[in-house]
Structures are given as C-alpha cells and as structure tokens.
Amino acid sequence: MRLLVVNANTSQFVTDRVAAEARLAAGPGCEIKAVTGEFGARIIGTRAENAIAAHAMVDLMARHAEGCDAALIAVSYDTALDASRQLLTIPVVGMTEAALLTACMLGGKTGVITLGSAGLPMYQELVAHYGLAGRVAGWGVIDRATAFSPGDTAELDRLLVAEAKRLVEQAGAETVVLSGAVMAGVPRRLQAQVPVPLIDGIACGVRQAELLARMKLPKPTAGSYAAPKGREVSNVSEALRKAFGDGG
C-alpha cells in the first residue's frame, strides 16, 4: 500500500515532521510518499493563505496521486478536502476530520487546542461544517510562533499540557485534539502528563486512510463527488487539467 501525504504549507520542516509520524503510524508494508507545497504561505494561518493553499493542494494531489492507494491532507484546516475527494479516484482523508471522528468514537466531548488566535474561527467553522460543533467541549488557543520552527519545545509542551488539563477540568473534555500538522507526534510525547486521550490528526488520518483503501469502495459516479468530466480549465498543470476531464 502507498499513502500520499500532502502538506500545502511550503515549510519542509512541517512535512518532515508529518512524514516521520506517518511512518510510525502506518501499518506493515505501507509506504509513505510525502510532498510539500511549492507556492503560497510557509505556514497557513489566514483565510487568504488557505485560499491559495487550496490551489496548491489540488495541484499536488493531481500530480502525485498516481500509484497511491489513498491520500492524507496534512494541513489542519483540511484544505481542499472536498475538492480533492471529487478529483481523485482514491480515498482522501483530512487530518482534522480524522482526529475529530476518532475523538467521537472514544466517547464524550472533546477539547480542541489550536496554535494562533487568528485561525480559531476557521477551525470552528470547519468543525461546524462536519456537523460536530456539539461534540466540542471547549477551545484552547496558544500563540507561539516558535511551534513552527525546529528547536527546544519545553515551553510549548508546558503550555499544551496546561491547556489540555484546563479543558479537562473546566470544560469537561474527555479527549483533547491537538490541531496543526506541526503537532504531529506531540500527543504521543505528552500523553503521560494528561489524564484523557490526546488525539494526533496525522496518526488518525494515516490509519483511517489505510482502512478506506483496504475497503476498496467505489468512486461515486453520481452526485457532487463524482469526477468532473469535460470541464475546461486554463493555465494549470497538465495533471490538474486532466483531473478536470479537460481533453485539451
């Protein structure tokens, strides 16, 4: 099995971290192919940056999906998830959707910790889009730009643990999702310090992508997720043009 992991941020550091955690989570015989955005924001954090990243995401999907059995969006806004599901013939999983659904299956309400207050409304809208707003016990925000660069994580770890415990003790969270692709591997590192499960979107996404690939369910041929046919697009990559069914 081959799993495509797509980071539409242009930060190779994030891709490397995501890929390492994805390989730890993957089952035997699952190869991870990780790719990084080639244009746009280093770290997506605003609506405008996310709009640019949507183009980068579908382009990377179209160019790299051949030979893969499933794909994982390694951007915590699940950028272009619906569009990627329409364009590709293989299952596509969003890391935040996977984390939230996993939290639901563990029972009770979940707390969600985000990095950066500017992105909080985008996460809240995403959760509402999935119909899961009622399953969120509370939100936590940590504004630390240092999370997005290599280096000492001691202070960030302290803040994450404190915020997770606050969500458990004050909001009644029975699981906690650490959002952000850069948080890949952090729940595993901090789990012993938190009394409820810490959820990692990359680990959840890898396992759910493997499950969907093994189920071999058919691609829809009707409805809004059916592949586009005969759509004319201009000034995009050849792979993306073909994904739109543009015969040229």
Say how far apart CA 53 and CA 41 lie, in whole Å. Answer: 8
Residue 155's pLDDT is 87
Span 51-87, pLDDT tens digits: 999 999 999 999 999 999 999 999 999 999 999 999 9
Sheet with 175-178, strands from edge to edge, namely 136-142, 110-115, 175-178, 198-200
Q: Give the mean pLDDT of 181-207.
A: 97
Token representation of residue 133: 């707003």
Percent of the chain with pLDDT over 90: 91
The CA dihedral of 130, 132, 136, 139, to the nearest 10 degrees, is 20
Lowest mean pLDDT among 51-60, 142-151, 196-205: 142-151
Tell me: pLDDT of 247 over 70.
no
Residue count of the chain: 248
Percent of the chain with pLDDT over 70: 96
Instruction: Report all structural domains of the chain as residue ranges with CATH numbers, in order of start.
Output: 2-94+204-243 (3.40.50.12500), 96-201 (3.40.50.12500)
Tell me: pLDDT of 248 over 70.
no
Helices (H), 30-146: 47-64, 81-87, 95-106, 120-129
Q: Binning pLDDT at 50, 70 and 90, where does residue 143 land?
A: confident
Q: Give the mean pLDDT of 77-103.
A: 98
Q: Which of 82, 75, 85 is nearest to 53 (CA)?
A: 75
Task: Return all residues near 131 (Cβ < 8 A) that are at least 6 apart.
Answer: none
Q: Binning pLDDT at 50, 70 and 90, where does residue 9 land?
A: very high
The whole-chain average pLDDT of the chain stands at: 94
